[in-house]
Amino acid sequence: MAEPMTCVLVVNAGSSSLKLALLDDDDEVVGATTVERWSGGDETDDVMAFVDGLPRVDAVGHRIVHGGADLTSPVLLDRDVRDRIAGLAELAPLHQPRGVAGIDAVSAVLPDVPSVACFDTAFHHDLPAAARTYALPREWNERWALRRYGFHGLSHAHVARRVAELAGPGRRIVSCHLGSGASLAAVVGDRSVDTTMGFTPLAGLVMATRSGDIDPGLVLWLLHHGGVSADELSDLLEHHSGLAGLTGGSGDLRDIVDSDDEATRQALDVYLHRLRREIAAMTAAMNGLDVLVFTGGVGEHQPVVRARAADGLAFLGVAIDAAVPVDGDTEITVPGAATRTFVVTAREDVEIARQVRTVV
């Protein structure tokens, strides 16, 4: 196997920004920038200005949200792989086109540097059949590759590796990636055995602007009897539901946790009810819980969310010390609690760099 790359450029193309970070062999960030007002258009000048200031780039790793049924591990990018990724846009319309635009922008600047696509769905590819299969006609599942794909896999994979370092290998982990998008994963050792998101990133927890799980019959009722079009419903579920829909305003938990407004307090109650319920469901999928982890922007920076979630999970052995100052990866377990609880900094960039080095 080739020696590890000296510097990996990690590319994370989001819905509104393009994040670039250069990691050295020790996964230290040598340089980083964010291209704001990212439109997925011609941002090559911004990328070139950043790259020109770097000492070297030996390889590039791209975060891609959806790998579909076939792209299930990190893969060296070529035109065919790029087009296959683009062909999955219908499964992740908010994210996939931006990922492809990021590939195009960086490849225009670094055409001779090997690039690797790393997929958020890959970590969940080997979910047990009972966890990944929808109770739909078998021929439908096979014809359209209908299954629970799961997302945030790069973050959940990083959490699993950090838990092995912090608490020892082989643990039963519930990883809570809580940000504007949010998902849980039940992880045994380094293997995902269940997760809250499904065929698309709409499923599971209440999120900033996404509904999470709702009755499919409700969706059908809105289409057939509510006078709502498919396009209108898609926009509503993606952009105007979740916390933003419940509050009638902000979906940002920083604006919600200290509010005295009754509707806003109820929105937080709904969010926490779903979070606690799904943590318990993930625990059931593993027949127990050893480690609970909070990560992502909300998980790392909202102690009220962590404390109120833990308050409802004492029956799982969870008890946290809300007064522990969180600085990087931090254990917040009350001494003697049966389940250990950690806050882990979300580092998809580290996981991407690791995967790149296994391919190049």
pLDDT in tens, 41-65: 667 888 888 999 899 999 999 999 9
Sign (positive or negative) of CA dihedral 179, 172, 187, 135 = negative
Q: What is the pLDDT of residue 1?
A: 47
Q: Cα angle at 357 between 170 and 344, to 5 degrees?
A: 45
Q: Do the domains 8-119 and 168-348 sit in the same CATH topology, yes or no?
A: yes
Q: What is the pLDDT of residue 41?
A: 67
The encoded tokens of residue 348 equal: 């998809």
Indicate the fold that domain 168-348 takes in CATH: Nucleotidyltransferase; domain 5 (3.30.420)
CB count in 10 Å sphere of residue 336 = 7
* 221, 321 Cβ separation under 8 angstroms: no
Residues comprising the chain, all counted: 360
Q: Which of 22, 21, 24 is nearest to 5 (CA)?
A: 24
Given 24, 120, 194, 349, the catalytic residue: 120
89's enclosing H/E stretch is none
- Residue 189 DSSP SS3: coil
Q: What is the pLDDT of residue 3?
A: 59
Task: Compute the distance between CA of residue 82 and CA of residue 318 in angstroms, rounded to an integer.
Answer: 44
Task: Compute the distance between CA of residue 104 and CA of residue 102 in angstroms, rounded to an integer.
Answer: 5
CB count in 10 Å sphere of residue 192 = 26
CB count in 10 Å sphere of residue 136 = 11
Give this prediction's pTM.
0.95
114 contact partners, CB below 8 Å, separation of at least 6: 59, 60, 76, 77, 360
Active site residue 255: no
SS (H, E, C) 262-295: HHHHHHHHHHHHHHHHHHHHHHHHHCCCCEEEEE
**Look-up of token digits 């917040």:** 332
| Domain residue spans of the chain | 8-119, 168-348
292 contact partners, CB below 8 Å, separation of at least 6: 173, 174, 176, 279, 310, 313, 316, 318, 339, 340, 341, 342
Chain centroid to CA 2: 30
- Consecutive sets of 10 residues in the chain, 360 residues long: mean pLDDT of each? 74 85 95 81 81 93 96 97 96 89 93 97 98 98 96 98 97 97 96 97 95 97 96 94 95 93 96 98 98 97 96 97 95 97 97 96
CATH 3.10.450.50 assigned to domain 8-119? The reply is no
